[in-house]
Amino acid sequence: MAVVHVTTDNFEQEVLKAEQTVMVDFWAAWCGPCKMLSPIVDQIAEEHPEIKVCKVNIDEEPSLAIDYKVMSIPTLLVFKNGEKVNMSIGVQSKADIEAMLA
């Protein structure tokens, strides 16, 4: 499944109202660790069609970062049934991310 780019306008629909588990990657273009994590996030999206993978550019959507208390990037948040159930900060291995989603 392709990665969905989320904004303030579609966050509720794409993330909070999603029927499946959703992983949201909070990132920025200038962030080196975000660039390291991005291919892993893309792999998860391709290999796990049961997971909806979204990305939020914090420079374009600072209010979402504030709402979800994202203090450092990259941050991954996992949502189930509209509720945040897990999170990680910094670059994670693919195995660690898959474990977080299980």
Q: Of 68, 63, 60, nearest to 16 (Cα)?
A: 68
CA distance 13 to 18: 7
pLDDT score at 95: 97
pLDDT score at 10: 97
CA distance 11 to 34: 20
Secondary-structure class of domain 4-101 per CATH: alpha beta
Q: Which two tokens stand for residue 20?
A: 């499946």
Cβ contacts of residue 29 below 8 Å, gap of 6+? 57, 59
Going residue by residue through the chain (102 aa), what tens digit of pLDDT does each one get?
Answer: 789 999 999 999 999 999 999 999 999 999 999 999 999 999 999 999 999 999 999 999 999 999 999 999 999 999 999 999 999 999 999 999 999 998
Q: Domain coordinates of the chain in residue numbers?
A: 4-101
Question: Considering the entire predicted model, what is its pTM?
Answer: 0.96
Supply the residues annotated as catalytic.
31, 34
CA distance 74 to 18: 22
